[in-house]
Amino acid sequence: MRRLGGRGGRFPNSTWASVHFLPPSGSMEYMAREKATITLDRGKAAAARALLGVGSTSEVIDVALDRLIRAERLRADIAAYQRVPPTQDEVALASLGDTGGIGDDTDWEALYADDLS
C-alpha cells in the first residue's frame, strides 16, 4: 500500500498532501474509493438508477451497500437481543420514557414471523 506523502508516495511530501488532498464525496467521508470490476444485470442496474434518481451505477451500488450494511448490523443486533433477555434494570430504564407516541395497533410479531423462524 502506498503512503499519501513522503518518499514513494503519490504526493511530493506529506505537507502537500495534507493541504491539497480533497477526499472523495459519497456516503463514507474520507474513505478512499477504488475501481472494481463486477458482473451485474444491466436491466437491474438501470431500474435501480431510475428508482433512486441517480446518474451512475456506482451511486446505486454505494446506496445498496450502505443499506445492506445497515440491515445486516440491525439483524445482528436483533439476534443478540433475542439471545440475551434484558435485565430488570434495563426493563425499568425503558419504562421511564414517554412511549405514547410509538403505540400503534401493528402486530409486529406477525409481520416479522418469517424472520423469527
pLDDT digits (tens, 9 = 90+) for 16-59: 444 444 444 555 555 667 888 999 999 999 999 999 999 999 99
Are 84 and 43 found together in one domain? yes
For residue 54, is it within any domain? Answer: yes
| Amino acid found at 73 | R
> Given a cut of 50, is residue 2 above it in pLDDT?
no
Cell representation of residue 20 = 491539497
For residue 14, is it within any domain? Answer: yes
The DSSP output letter for 86 is P
For residue 96, is it within any domain? Answer: no
Alpha helices, H only, 2-56: 14-20, 42-52
Mean pLDDT within 97-117? 78
* Angstrom distance (rounded) from CA 77 to CA 112: 15
Are 24 and 55 found together in one domain? no
* Angstrom distance (rounded) from CA 3 to CA 14: 9
Q: Which domain does 52 fall in, by range? A: 38-88
Are 23 and 53 found together in one domain? no
For residue 114, is it within any domain? Answer: no
Domains of the chain: total: 2
Are 17 and 50 found together in one domain? no
Q: What is the pLDDT of residue 5?
A: 46
Higher pLDDT, 4 or 96: 96
